[in-house]
Every structure is written in structure tokens, then in C-alpha cells.
Amino acid sequence: MYQFTSAGDTNDGSYFAYVSFWFFDDGPIVYIYKKGSTKIYSAQDLRLTSKGLRETASHKLWLKDGGDFWPTSGVPSKFIINTEQGERSIEL
């Protein structure tokens, strides 16, 4: 299965994020890489469900407006994802 994805990093380069454009009920949709570790997040981890998501011929769309996500500054740093079901944040 091919999936479209997007990637980005924090301003200081200490984290790298891989975000799937495709929604998976039971599989990983976000990966956060840091030197020496990887954290993987599912829809359940981000309190997301497939209910009400727009469907294409091959998948469901969970990212709002094509997939905005960004790191925040400050302590603790957070990674914000703009989803169809509201903003979700992941503490880095």
C-alpha cells in the first residue's frame, strides 16, 4: 500500500516528524524521531476516530487543509497537528 506523507523538523533540528496523510484506524499515523529513539502514535493515541472523515477512492483524510503541523517553542516543546477533529499536540 502506498501512502502520501509529509515530514518536518523542529527549529533546532533535534526532532524529525513523519506524518501520514492517510488515516489508519489501527496503524501508526505519526512518527517522532529523536537521536536514539522513535515515538510512534496511532489515531487512538491522538484521540481520533474515522467518524466523519472525508473519504477518497483509496483512503480517509484526517489532516485539515492538506496537513498543517508545526513545532512550538518553549519548555516542554510540543508538536501541533491540525486535524479535521481539532488540533492535537504531542509533547516532545
Q: What would the pLDDT profile of 31-82 be if each residue is shown by its tens digit?
A: 988 888 999 999 999 999 999 898 888 888 888 876 666 667 666 677 888 8
Separation of alpha carbons 77 and 10, rounded Å: 9
The whole-model pTM stands at: 0.77
Please enumerate in sequence order all residues whose Cβ is within 8 A of that of 12, keeping only pairs 6 or more positions apart, or say none.
Answer: none
The pLDDT score that the predictor gives to residue 12 is 61
